[in-house]
Structure 1
């Protein structure tokens, strides 16, 4: 049964006039860049870290942001390390399309080109990890990353950086570390160019992914190791195989997570979906950074109070020896006829950024140590 419209004609005319105007406005709106009507896309992304590692938690945080912002039309399935390929193989798997993406670090594929390690495990030019992220997004780092991955290595990938890791500890040792001489003949785990630095100090270096560290320590394959932070380290049981934990180092002072996608898959996404993947990485940098300060400090306390770990500050002599080692490593890798040109290009960009940003940051920083000791007394470390 049809309803009778008793609306006065004057009001009907007014409403029609309004709706007509709205229709015109709607046409104008549609003429602007259109919202995609893309079908649902689900991407397979594998972590380069252990399932219980806080770094994988950060990956799940990133995925949660993407899935929420995707509005049901863009989803990521986050796979644990080793679900499809081994941790050091995620970049190749992403490039070939075996994986749609990976959540890892460039040091895991630096065997392809040593310049990869400069994106996180390179020399320190006076800036910290957060300032390093500024270089990537505003100092030309992203363009150099694209040049290395796509033009030089011909990888079919596109990547963003997410989460600037606080300076990574020198690591875990069975015995106290007196100075650089303690590394002579020491079997030590690290990755990327940090391996060259520690070798220059006299260590015998084994490059192992996170899940393989503890078994190697238990079997005597390595004597000491570094991984990343108090939370990651304590979760896989570092405190059960060593009791001396040294904070501070130049071997990995400004590493960042990379979020990498197969380029063909990425290029096939709607523009707003591409932006979601990129902006979620930037949002994760801040969110995970705040979370890290909370978790790392709590877990460091627990290592000391519950597990009897001796937390120490790395001796100044080791910092100085590491800088000298970096000078040697930089000279060696820059002289390489094949890889040297790209390495020099990246280092020059990072050095220029460090000189400018480091000058401002270091001179502008408050003396936080003095403020801390004013309220809490001298640091006992």
Structure 2
């Protein structure tokens, strides 16, 4: 049996909220919206408090006699905290939200936000990135053990309970094989990890995180593929004497700029839209363009990254090297045009995700 650590993959599964009447459905939906608002507020409190704690030693204007050490006083006499650093924000949120939201949501949220903060705090100190801001559509984190009473229903769908609410899956055409992943969990052949619920355009989605074993393949760690990411040609990849070009400036950038231009024209025409339902009605056409651009970019990045990984598999390469990437990302941060229209981070993230599935090591230079 392989001892390799499995890859975690996230899949988006639509959920239908179950209720006996329309009034009951509205009440349950309002409960979810309230939890989402609390989660957003709590996430911003967590990151703010930990940033302040981490910055205390940099506050040079404090009296010289103040010695700052972020540690629990019970474990370190020089510490200034009355509890562990992780528990500081949990206690804050518990005092604010206990009885209004399941506390396992708060526990999961606190753990996630602190984990992300710890990974990024070095970049905050060096000015390489700004502090995260969590917006209104923040997903609601859920603990996998809280998903109970999972039962199959008609047409390959499932129902389950979560925090006293009842949900029904809706896999649709299921071109990504989400139903199969869900079935493996039911049969005990797979594992569902802590996940989240997303509320988007009055629809509910389970952002389910599954364990997935790496796909075995004949890959050699001695064989490498080198790749260059750029806006002119999204990906140029080479192995030995073979080179491929994935995507083009016309295919990616020109289409994206056309969407932006159409959105600007629509924005200028919004003032002439008829009223009747206030702001929502006036901005309805504009919102469609926001989603259109976002979906186009996401689709293209998935396609480009998939083609690159397929090339690595064809070449039997166990290592993928992204050349000159640090230099290009630094240049992109200084250019408003590149920052707005090209996403090195998004493409690199999708390449790394797909590479991990096949056990391909990604090196960034």
TM-score by length of 1: 0.18
TM-score, normalised with respect to structure 2: 0.18
Higher relative contact order (CA 8 A, sep 6+): 1
Q: Would you tell me which structure has more strand in proportion to its own residues?
A: 2
